[in-house]
Amino acid sequence: MSVHFIPAFADNYIYVLESRAGIWVVDPGSADPVFSWLDQRQMKPTAILCTHHHPDHTGGVAALARHFAIPVYGANDRIPALTHPVHAGKLTIAAAELSVLEVPGHTRDHLAYVWSQSLFCGDTLFAAGCGRLFEGTPEMLFQSLQQLATLPAATRVYCAHEYTQNNLRFAALVDPENPVIQQRQMLVRQQRDAGEPSLPSSIGLECASNPFLRCHVPALIASAQQFDPDCDGSPLSVFTTLRCWKDQF
């Protein structure tokens, strides 16, 4: 399976998954860049997968679905042109079997897809960060991220925005002695200077450097308690404090 990046808007990535099972487009927030990308390669998509309903992930769904007459997978009818509502568990598309995970928090009905050791997690887990809480509670997002952290360490993480540099600045502030963050900052700077995406990340790398997956680590507990003396030091309380801090960062 190959994963292709189509940049959209200021910092979104639309993904095209190409395999013998077909050509799937994940989170097409805009139709035009997808039409031109496919045109240049004489390719026709066979399905659309959506992680959540926000317009920067679904703005192109209806036009692509209509033009190519292809199915649209997603949580519910908040996804435009939805044909196949899906829930946590196995999902078969053509000959391929994917795992669907329910990961609420950023929105209450956010999904993630795992296929071929690759995770497409929309706005739930970002490289060195996590999504904002629009509809869910801190506990929901915390549990969702914990669920993603249990995937095999080698799982490639394809999140939907290029936020890595800004996220790493925050990570370095709250986890200042972590050498993995410092190495990662250097690597990502090189990638971005060369005009390349900083993705995919991996679950192993996120567990080693993403503050939102490290709320049990003494350095993060100390930082959270320094920011908010009312933080009780439990992983959920550390997570809630860090998310609130990052919102103002």
Residues that bind Zn ion (CB under 5 A): 54, 123
Distance CA 167, CA 29 (A): 22
- Classified as helix, coil or strand, 130 is strand
* 11 labelled catalytic: no
Helix axes 138-149, 235-247, angle to 10 degrees: 110
Q: Which of 4, 11, 27, 52 is catalytic?
A: 52
* 53 labelled catalytic: no
Distances (CA, A) of 194 to 127, 187, 188, 198: 18, 11, 10, 10
Is the Cβ of residue 123 or residue 206 nearer to Zn ion in the bound state? Answer: 123
Residue 123 among known ligand-binding residues:
yes
Residue 84 among known ligand-binding residues:
no
Supply the minimum distance, in Å, between the C-beta of residue 106 and Zn ion: 6
Residue 230 among known ligand-binding residues:
no
Task: Write out the H or E segment, with its range, that includes residue 157.
Answer: strand 156-158
Q: Which of 27, 109, 110, 161 is catalytic?
A: 161
Cβ neighbourhood burial of 226 (10 Å; 0-12, 13-18, 19+) = exposed
Residue 87 among known ligand-binding residues:
no
- Classified as helix, coil or strand, 97 is strand
Supply the minimum distance, in Å, between the C-beta of residue 53 and Zn ion: 8
Supply the minimum distance, in Å, between the C-beta of residue 221 and Zn ion: 29
* 87 labelled catalytic: no
Tell me the binding residues: 52, 54, 56-57, 106, 123, 161
Q: Any idea which residues carry the catalytic annotation?
A: 52, 54, 56-57, 106, 123, 161
Tell me the binding residues for Zn(2+): 52, 54, 56-57, 106, 123, 161
